[in-house]
Chain A
Amino acid sequence: DAGITQSPRYKITETGRQVTLMCHQTWSHSYMFWYRQDLGHGLRLIYYSAAADITDKGEVPDGYVVSRSKTENFPLTLESATRSQTSVYFCASQGDRYSNQPQHFGDGTRLSIL
Protein backbone atom coordinates (compact mmCIF):
# COMPACT_ATOMS: atom_id res chain seq x y z
CA ASP A 1 0.00 0.00 0.00
CA ALA A 2 2.32 2.73 -1.28
CA GLY A 3 -0.27 5.54 -1.34
CA ILE A 4 1.66 8.55 -2.52
CA THR A 5 5.35 8.44 -3.28
CA GLN A 6 7.83 11.12 -4.24
CA SER A 7 11.17 10.71 -5.95
CA PRO A 8 13.93 11.41 -5.49
CA ARG A 9 13.94 11.96 -1.71
CA TYR A 10 17.07 14.08 -1.97
CA LYS A 11 18.52 16.02 -4.89
CA ILE A 12 21.47 18.35 -5.29
CA THR A 13 21.85 20.32 -8.48
CA GLU A 14 23.36 23.53 -9.81
CA THR A 15 21.79 26.82 -10.76
CA GLY A 16 20.50 26.91 -14.30
CA ARG A 17 19.90 23.19 -14.57
CA GLN A 18 16.56 21.60 -15.19
CA VAL A 19 15.28 19.26 -12.53
CA THR A 20 12.08 17.25 -12.30
CA LEU A 21 10.48 16.00 -9.13
CA MET A 22 8.17 13.04 -9.45
CA CYS A 23 4.95 12.29 -7.64
CA HIS A 24 2.91 9.12 -7.98
CA GLN A 25 -0.30 8.14 -6.21
CA THR A 26 -2.09 4.81 -6.24
CA TRP A 27 -5.56 5.92 -5.12
CA SER A 28 -6.76 7.39 -8.43
CA HIS A 29 -7.41 10.65 -6.62
CA SER A 30 -8.62 13.44 -8.88
CA TYR A 31 -6.77 16.26 -7.19
CA MET A 32 -3.05 16.62 -6.79
CA PHE A 33 -0.94 19.41 -5.33
CA TRP A 34 2.64 20.60 -5.08
CA TYR A 35 3.85 22.57 -2.07
CA ARG A 36 7.16 23.94 -0.98
CA GLN A 37 8.16 24.25 2.64
CA ASP A 38 10.71 26.78 3.82
CA LEU A 39 11.63 27.80 7.33
CA GLY A 40 9.28 30.50 8.56
CA HIS A 41 6.80 30.06 5.72
CA GLY A 42 4.98 26.84 6.47
CA LEU A 43 3.69 25.17 3.31
CA ARG A 44 2.96 27.21 0.22
CA LEU A 45 1.01 25.93 -2.74
CA ILE A 46 2.89 25.97 -6.05
CA TYR A 47 0.51 24.28 -8.49
CA TYR A 48 -2.48 22.02 -8.36
CA SER A 49 -4.39 19.77 -10.69
CA ALA A 50 -8.08 18.88 -10.62
CA ALA A 51 -7.77 16.03 -13.16
CA ALA A 52 -5.58 14.78 -15.95
CA ASP A 53 -4.66 17.64 -18.30
CA ILE A 54 -6.10 20.24 -15.92
CA THR A 55 -3.62 22.30 -13.92
CA ASP A 56 -3.61 25.73 -12.34
CA LYS A 57 -1.37 28.06 -10.39
CA GLY A 58 -1.19 28.27 -6.64
CA GLU A 59 0.37 30.91 -4.44
CA VAL A 60 4.00 30.68 -5.68
CA PRO A 61 4.08 29.29 -9.27
CA ASP A 62 6.90 31.35 -10.78
CA GLY A 63 9.83 29.26 -11.99
CA TYR A 64 7.90 25.99 -11.99
CA VAL A 65 6.13 23.92 -14.62
CA VAL A 66 3.74 21.02 -14.09
CA SER A 67 2.01 18.48 -16.26
CA ARG A 68 -0.53 15.75 -15.68
CA SER A 69 -0.90 13.39 -18.60
CA LYS A 70 -2.01 10.54 -16.32
CA THR A 71 -4.18 10.71 -13.22
CA GLU A 72 -1.60 9.00 -11.03
CA ASN A 73 1.41 11.16 -11.89
CA PHE A 74 2.05 14.85 -11.30
CA PRO A 75 5.65 15.84 -12.03
CA LEU A 76 7.04 19.24 -11.06
CA THR A 77 9.81 20.73 -13.21
CA LEU A 78 12.18 23.54 -12.43
CA GLU A 79 13.25 24.56 -15.92
CA SER A 80 16.21 26.66 -14.79
CA ALA A 81 16.86 26.14 -11.11
CA THR A 82 17.77 29.06 -8.87
CA ARG A 83 19.13 29.07 -5.32
CA SER A 84 15.87 30.53 -4.06
CA GLN A 85 14.20 27.27 -5.07
CA THR A 86 16.20 25.33 -2.50
CA SER A 87 13.44 23.88 -0.36
CA VAL A 88 11.56 20.79 0.67
CA TYR A 89 8.84 19.92 -1.82
CA PHE A 90 5.72 18.01 -0.91
CA CYS A 91 3.21 16.42 -3.20
CA ALA A 92 -0.33 15.71 -2.03
CA SER A 93 -3.48 14.14 -3.42
CA GLN A 94 -7.14 14.50 -2.55
CA GLY A 95 -10.02 12.32 -3.60
CA ASP A 96 -12.95 14.69 -3.63
CA ARG A 97 -12.47 18.32 -2.81
CA TYR A 98 -16.10 19.30 -2.47
CA SER A 99 -16.80 16.72 0.20
CA ASN A 100 -13.74 18.12 1.98
CA GLN A 101 -11.77 14.92 2.09
CA PRO A 102 -8.32 15.54 3.58
CA GLN A 103 -5.18 15.77 1.54
CA HIS A 104 -2.66 12.94 1.69
CA PHE A 105 0.98 13.97 1.55
CA GLY A 106 4.12 12.27 0.37
CA ASP A 107 7.28 12.35 2.47
CA GLY A 108 8.87 15.11 0.44
CA THR A 109 11.87 15.82 -1.75
CA ARG A 110 14.69 17.83 -0.23
CA LEU A 111 16.16 19.89 -3.07
CA SER A 112 19.40 21.82 -2.76
CA ILE A 113 20.52 24.15 -5.53
CA LEU A 114 24.14 25.21 -5.43
Chain B
Amino acid sequence: LAKTTQPISMDSYEGQEVNITCSHNNIATNDYITWYQQFPSQGPRFIIQGYKTKVTNEVASLFIPADRKSSTLSLPRVSLSDTAVYYCLVDANTGGFKTIFGAGTRLFVKA
Protein backbone atom coordinates (compact mmCIF):
# COMPACT_ATOMS: atom_id res chain seq x y z
CA LEU B 1 0.00 0.00 0.00
CA ALA B 2 1.42 3.36 -1.06
CA LYS B 3 1.49 5.50 2.07
CA THR B 4 2.21 9.17 1.61
CA THR B 5 4.36 11.63 3.50
CA GLN B 6 3.84 15.40 3.44
CA PRO B 7 5.13 18.32 5.49
CA ILE B 8 2.87 18.96 8.46
CA SER B 9 2.62 22.69 7.85
CA MET B 10 3.84 25.50 5.63
CA ASP B 11 3.64 29.27 5.78
CA SER B 12 3.48 31.65 2.87
CA TYR B 13 2.55 35.21 1.97
CA GLU B 14 -0.08 36.45 -0.38
CA GLY B 15 1.07 36.54 -3.99
CA GLN B 16 3.77 33.91 -3.57
CA GLU B 17 3.95 30.55 -5.29
CA VAL B 18 3.61 27.61 -2.92
CA ASN B 19 4.96 24.13 -3.61
CA ILE B 20 3.88 21.20 -1.46
CA THR B 21 5.70 17.92 -1.98
CA CYS B 22 4.29 14.48 -1.24
CA SER B 23 6.39 11.32 -1.05
CA HIS B 24 4.88 7.99 -2.09
CA ASN B 25 7.77 5.57 -2.44
CA ASN B 26 5.62 2.45 -2.87
CA ILE B 27 3.28 3.78 -5.53
CA ALA B 28 1.95 1.06 -7.82
CA THR B 29 1.95 1.11 -11.60
CA ASN B 30 -1.78 1.77 -11.90
CA ASP B 31 -2.02 4.35 -9.14
CA TYR B 32 -3.00 7.95 -9.78
CA ILE B 33 -2.04 10.86 -7.55
CA THR B 34 -4.84 13.14 -6.42
CA TRP B 35 -4.75 16.28 -4.33
CA TYR B 36 -7.60 17.61 -2.23
CA GLN B 37 -8.12 20.84 -0.31
CA GLN B 38 -10.03 21.05 2.96
CA PHE B 39 -11.34 24.11 4.78
CA PRO B 40 -12.52 23.96 8.41
CA SER B 41 -15.96 22.39 8.87
CA GLN B 42 -16.06 21.24 5.25
CA GLY B 43 -15.29 18.05 3.41
CA PRO B 44 -12.23 17.75 1.18
CA ARG B 45 -12.54 19.19 -2.29
CA PHE B 46 -10.75 17.89 -5.40
CA ILE B 47 -7.97 20.11 -6.76
CA ILE B 48 -5.98 18.15 -9.33
CA GLN B 49 -5.02 14.66 -10.40
CA GLY B 50 -2.19 13.20 -12.45
CA TYR B 51 -0.33 10.05 -13.42
CA LYS B 52 3.03 11.31 -14.70
CA THR B 53 4.88 14.44 -15.86
CA LYS B 54 2.88 17.63 -15.45
CA VAL B 55 -0.78 18.49 -15.18
CA THR B 56 -2.19 22.01 -14.99
CA ASN B 57 -5.67 23.34 -14.44
CA GLU B 58 -7.13 26.72 -13.51
CA VAL B 59 -6.28 26.24 -9.84
CA ALA B 60 -2.94 24.45 -9.63
CA SER B 61 -0.18 22.47 -11.29
CA LEU B 62 0.98 18.99 -10.42
CA PHE B 63 4.52 17.86 -11.13
CA ILE B 64 5.37 14.15 -11.10
CA PRO B 65 8.93 12.93 -11.81
CA ALA B 66 9.63 9.91 -13.95
CA ASP B 67 10.02 7.51 -11.02
CA ARG B 68 6.66 8.71 -9.58
CA LYS B 69 7.92 8.32 -6.04
CA SER B 70 6.91 11.87 -5.23
CA SER B 71 4.71 14.66 -6.53
CA THR B 72 4.57 18.41 -6.05
CA LEU B 73 1.44 20.50 -5.90
CA SER B 74 2.12 24.05 -7.04
CA LEU B 75 -0.27 26.88 -6.16
CA PRO B 76 0.52 30.07 -8.06
CA ARG B 77 0.10 33.43 -6.36
CA VAL B 78 -1.71 32.26 -3.24
CA SER B 79 -4.26 34.39 -1.44
CA LEU B 80 -5.58 34.35 2.12
CA SER B 81 -8.43 32.12 0.98
CA ASP B 82 -5.94 29.38 0.09
CA THR B 83 -5.30 28.80 3.79
CA ALA B 84 -6.41 25.19 4.19
CA VAL B 85 -5.22 21.64 4.63
CA TYR B 86 -3.97 19.94 1.47
CA TYR B 87 -4.08 16.17 1.15
CA CYS B 88 -2.09 14.00 -1.19
CA LEU B 89 -3.90 10.79 -2.09
CA VAL B 90 -2.62 7.75 -3.92
CA ASP B 91 -5.42 5.56 -5.22
CA ALA B 92 -4.46 1.97 -4.63
CA ASN B 93 -6.38 -0.25 -7.04
CA THR B 94 -4.76 -3.47 -5.87
CA GLY B 95 -6.22 -5.43 -2.97
CA GLY B 96 -9.56 -3.69 -3.03
CA PHE B 97 -10.33 -0.15 -1.98
CA LYS B 98 -7.59 0.92 0.34
CA THR B 99 -7.80 4.64 -0.18
CA ILE B 100 -4.95 6.20 1.72
CA PHE B 101 -4.89 9.86 2.65
CA GLY B 102 -1.71 11.43 3.89
CA ALA B 103 -1.88 13.38 7.15
CA GLY B 104 -2.17 16.54 5.10
CA THR B 105 -0.24 19.80 4.95
CA ARG B 106 -1.66 22.80 6.77
CA LEU B 107 -0.92 25.87 4.67
CA PHE B 108 -1.08 29.30 6.30
CA VAL B 109 -1.16 32.25 3.95
CA LYS B 110 -0.34 35.56 5.58
CA ALA B 111 -1.10 39.07 4.39
Contact = CB atoms under 8 A, between A and B. Distances in A.
B103 A108 contact: no
B83 interface: no
Interface of B, helix, strand, loop or mixed by DSSP: loop
A58 B97 contact: yes
Interface residues on A, range: 20 to 34
B99 A100 contact: no
B103 A40 contact: yes
Interface residues on B, range: 20 to 34
Nearest to A110: B41
Interface of B: 32, 34, 36, 41-46, 49, 87, 91, 93, 96-104
12 contacts: A50-B97, A56-B96, A58-B99, A90-B43, A98-B93, A100-B32, A100-B91, A102-B34, A102-B49, A105-B45, A107-B41, A107-B42
Interface of A: 33, 35, 40-45, 48, 50, 56, 58-59, 90, 92, 97-98, 100, 102-108
